[in-house]
Amino acid sequence: MQKSLNKKFAIVGMGLLAGRFPQHSQRSLQAEAARLAIEDSGLNPSQVNGAVDLMLAPGSGSPPMETDHFPRILGLPCKMFFSIGRGGAGGVLGTVAATKFLEMGMADYVVLSYGAKDWSRSRGPEKTGIRSIEKIGHWGKPFGDLAAVSHHTFFASRHMHEYGTKSEHFGAIAVAQREWAQLNPEAHFHGRPLTLDDYMNSPMVVEPYRLLDMCMINDGAMAFVLTTAERARDLAKPPVYVLGAGQGEAMESLWWEKANYTRLAVKTAKEVAFREADITIDDVDFAGLYDCFTGEVLFQVEDYGWCKKGEGGPFIASEGIGPNGKININTSGGLLSAYYFGELTHIAEAITQLRGEAGARQVPNARVGIASGHGGEIVSPGMCSTHATLVLGRD
Amino acid sequence: MTTTVPRPRPNINEDIRPFWDAVKERRFKLMRCQTCSAWYWPAAYCRFHANEPFKGNMKWEQASGRGKVFAFNVHRKAFTPAFEAPYVYALIELEEGPMFGSNVIGCRPEDVKIGMPVEVVFSDVEENLILPQFRPSSIVCERA
Ligand SMILES: [Zn+2]
């Protein structure tokens, strides 16, 4: 079959700002990360003539009608620009869309940028309480379903019920990712190790999830520059190729399809992405699996096929996914322990690993990595119905 | 205990208004396909065949209000003062098929179990806010 992506496009620059930035607006953070990404690639900003604004779901967090988007305040001579988003899957979707514009010759270099002010808005000076409650859609909010941790527990609850998964299994994920974070100086929890006892003693927030099952929040931005493989060859950094990408949807089946509560919509996303990339699961040297909560990692370890459905808990606890584990999962520390930019967190780590710039946490001879996105609307009783897979690789 | 902070209200638009209007009358309605009898919540076109314009083949009909706990959580923390922890938020698998997110009340959180039969109860949680919540039931529904 004709390949659309396989090694035809590459990421050539990256900019990352993670932490607390109450003094900067979200779009300023996006612009600054984009500037860093362009600088990293060795390009002159005047060459970057396409841009994509990576957003969360429409209306939740990202100002949808911003007049001065980041490429405008950066002064980029853009011929194309759009916003795209679907929860924690916008980075993969934006990448796929941008490749078509590059293929059509509508842009030579496209910079994609995601910004967040989640810390400032929830804890910092712009404090407005919990991050967001959609003003449209059928939330369970009058019933007290007010935070992502509430409806995400349904997946954990079902998995525990159907397969006997235990708190300790979720805890093993939190501990493993914290171990990776100890090797990543840029991780928020660098220097703060975690034991399984610490996890078990952390307060129950929404049972069965404890505080340490939940991802962190921060401010900042992540941006990267995408171009064609030909243009990628002579730039400052080794190209990180887009090998494949795919999307899957829980809405393939009925809203109340029971299996959708113990799996994510990985099947189609993986099939398409792996076919494009011409790989099997055994070719994957490391993976950034979307980890808004520990359970999502467990489901994906099963859904991607590292073990059978239902066996994720014992597999992770015995084989390991940390620095000395059988598979390398969320090597940056992930959303749980490093920083939160949706799946851009995992794309950033994949770029870093494939360039061989990951320092103490470098996966030896890393050639192929995946970054996965998860998200979508919260429409009780359904939620986060999308899954996206990006396969990246190097020469 | 009365709280001074009101609960968040449901988002009610043209699509879901008939459901909440029925709740005000203490009736639990789901949307039903008049062609093939399939039940839906929230409002949707029937996915099993062609539909009439603007879901003309779909009607809000009285449902049993019975179901089973499919999944649930126990809030040990309330995210706003409008709620008092602990409370249970559950996914109820309705006898008619669809899932419905609501509270399980009338028993201790520790006593809620997956598969437990429940039935709807209309609670006057605040002035001008009736909610379809669920309580343990002795009637075991047919499905599942
Ligand atoms: Zn029908």
String of DSSP letters for A343-365: BHHHHHHHHHHHTT--GGGPPTT
Query: B71 and A140 in contact by Cβ < 8 A?
Result: no
pLDDT at res. A163? 98
C-alpha–C-alpha distance, residues B2 and A271, integer Å: 53
Per-residue pLDDT reduced to its tens digit, A317-356: 999 999 999 999 999 999 999 999 999 999 999 999 999 9
How confident is the model at residue A4, as a pLDDT? Answer: 87
Closest CB to B129: pick one of A135, A142, A144: A142
Q: Residue B17 Cα, ligand 1 centroid: separation in angstroms? A: 21
| B80 plus B53 within the same structural domain | no
- The stretch B47-69 carries a mean pLDDT of 97
In tens, the pLDDT along A275-319 reads 999 999 999 999 999 999 999 999 999 999 999 999 999 999 999
- Looking at the structure, do residues B24 and B87 belong to the same domain, yes or no? no
- Please tell me which of the candidates A135, A143, A207 has its beta carbon nearest to residue B101: A143
Residue B139: HSE in the Cβ half-sphere, 13 Å Cα cutoff:
14
Cis-peptide into A381, omega within 30 deg: yes
User: In this structure, are B72 and B123 located in the same domain?
Assistant: yes
Contact present, B106 and B136 (Cβ < 8 Å) = yes
Give the mean pLDDT of A190-197: 98
Residue B71 sits in the same domain as residue B135: yes
- Whether residues B59 and B71 share a domain: the answer is no
* Confidence at residue B144, expressed as pLDDT on a 0 to 100 scale: 44
Topology given in CATH for the domain delimited by A9-125+219-239: Peroxisomal Thiolase; Chain A, domain 1 (3.40.47)
pLDDT at A143 over 50: yes
Q: Is the pLDDT of residue A229 over 90?
A: yes
Residue B4, domain member (yes or no): no
Nearest chain A CA: its distance from B74 CA (Å): 5
Q: Spell out which residues of chain A touch residue B114, defining contact as CB-CB under 8 Å.
A: 157-158, 161
pLDDT band at A181 (very low <50, low <70, confident <90, very high): very high
Distance CA B75, CA B87 (A): 5
Tens of pLDDT, residues B18-29: 999 999 999 999
- Whole-angstrom distance between the N-terminal and C-terminal Cα of chain B? 37
Residue A240 has pLDDT above 80, yes or no: yes
- Residue contact A147–B80, C-beta within 8 A: no
pLDDT of A61 higher than 50: no
Nearest C-alpha in A relative to B10: A142
**Centroid of chain to Cα A310:** 24
Collect all residues of chain B within an 8 Å Cβ-Cβ radius of residue A147: 79
Measured between beta carbons, the chain B residues lying within 8 angstroms of A203 are 76-77
Is B5 inside a domain boundary? no
Pairing of strands A80-85, A50-55: parallel
Taking each helix axis as running N to C, give the angle between helix A294-303 and helix A312-319, from 0 to 180 degrees, rounded to the nearest 10: 100
**Chain A interface residues (partner B, CB cutoff 8 A):** 129-130, 133-147, 150-151, 153-155, 157-158, 161, 203-209, 254-256, 258, 261, 379-381
Provide the shortest C-alpha distance from residue B143 to chain A (in Å). 13
CATH architecture of A145-214+243-393: 3-Layer(aba) Sandwich (3.40)
On whether both B23 and B71 belong to a single domain, the answer is no
Q: Give the SS3 label for residue B117.
A: strand
Task: Answer whether residue A67 shows pLDDT above 90.
Answer: no
Best mutation site among A157, A257, A378, A379 for testing chain B: the one with the most B CBs within 10 Å?
Answer: A157
Of A142, A151, A205, the CB nearest to B131: A142
Same domain, B41 and B68: no
- Asked if the domains A9-125+219-239 and A145-214+243-393 are classified in one and the same CATH topology, the answer is yes
Which among A137, A143, A205 has CB closest to B89? Answer: A143
Closest residue in chain A to residue B102, using alpha carbons only: A143
Residues B70 and B44 in one domain: no
Looking at the complex, report in whole angstroms how far the Cα of residue A161 sits from the nearest Cα belonging to chain B: 8
What is the Cα B68 distance to its own chain's centre? 12
Find chain B residues with C-beta within 8 A of A254's C-beta: 47
| CA distance linking residue A138 with residue B44, whole number of Å | 13
> CA angle A47-A49-A51, nearest 5°?
130
Handedness of CA A346, A347, A351, A352 (dihedral sign): negative
Express as a percent the part of chain B with pLDDT over 90.
85
B104 and B86, same domain (yes or no): yes
Tell whether B107 and B134 lie within a shared domain: yes
Indicate the DSSP class of residue A145: -
Give the pair of three-digit tokens for residue A233.
Answer: 């060859």
Residue B101 has its nearest CB partner, among A134, A205, A381, at A381
Question: Complex ipTM, two decimals?
Answer: 0.94
Phi then psi for residue A114, to 5 deg, are -120, 135
- What's the mean pLDDT in B9-37? 95
Residue A162 phi, psi (nearest 5) = -80, -35
How far apart, in whole angstroms, are the C-alpha atoms of residue B130 and residue A224? 49
Report the percentage of chain B scoring pLDDT > 70: 94
Looking at residue A66, what is its pLDDT? 61
Which pLDDT score, from 0 to 100, does residue A71 have?
96
**Are A140 and B42 a contacting pair at CB < 8 A?**
no
CA–CA distance from B34 to each of A146, A253, A390, B14, B115 (Å)? 35, 21, 43, 20, 30
Under an 8 A CB cutoff, do B11 and A130 touch? no
Position B3 in a domain: no
pLDDT at position A213 is: 98
Q: How many residues does chain B have?
A: 144
Nearest to A58 by CA among A18, A87, A29, A96: A87
Pair A339, A18: CB distance under 8 Å: yes
Write the single-letter amino acid at A352: T
Whichever domain contains B141, its CATH number is 2.40.50
Locate the DSSP E strands across A56-180: 80-85, 109-117
Where exactly are the structural domains of chain A?
9-125+219-239, 145-214+243-393
Q: Do B11 and A139 touch (CB under 8 A)?
A: yes
Task: For A110-134, give one letter per residue: b (16+ CB within 10 A) or e.
Answer: bbbbbbbbbbbbeeeeeeeeeebbb
Active site residues of A: 290, 340
CA distance A175 to A196: 6
Average pLDDT, chain A: 93
Q: What is the C-alpha separation between A356 and A361, in angstroms, rounded?
A: 10
Q: Are A66 and A31 in contact (CB under 8 A)?
A: no
B2 domain residue, yes or no: no
Q: Please tell me the total count of domains within chain B.
A: 2
How confident is the model at residue A383, as a pLDDT? 77
Together in a domain, B51 and B122? no
| pLDDT (0 to 100) of residue A132 | 52
Gap from CA of B58 to ligand 1 centroid (Å): 8
Residue-level pLDDT at A60: 47
Give the tokens for residue A311.
């066996």
Ramachandran sector of residue A164 (left: φ over 0; alpha: ψ -120 to 50; beta: rest): left
Q: Which amino acid is at B55?
A: K
**pLDDT tens track for A356-369:** 999 999 999 999 99
Q: What percent of chain A has pLDDT over 90?
A: 80
| Domain span including residue B20 | 13-63
Q: A129 contacts in B (CB within 8 Å)?
A: 80
Burial of A311: CB neighbours in 10 Å, binned 0-12, 13-18, 19+: middle
- Say whether B73 and A258 touch across the interface (CB within 8 A): no
Q: Tell if the CB–CB gap between A254 and B47 is shorter than 8 Å.
A: yes
The reply to whether residue A145 touches residue B101, judged by beta carbons under 8 angstroms, is yes
Same domain, B88 and B126: yes
Question: Under an 8 A CB cutoff, do B75 and A141 touch?
Answer: no
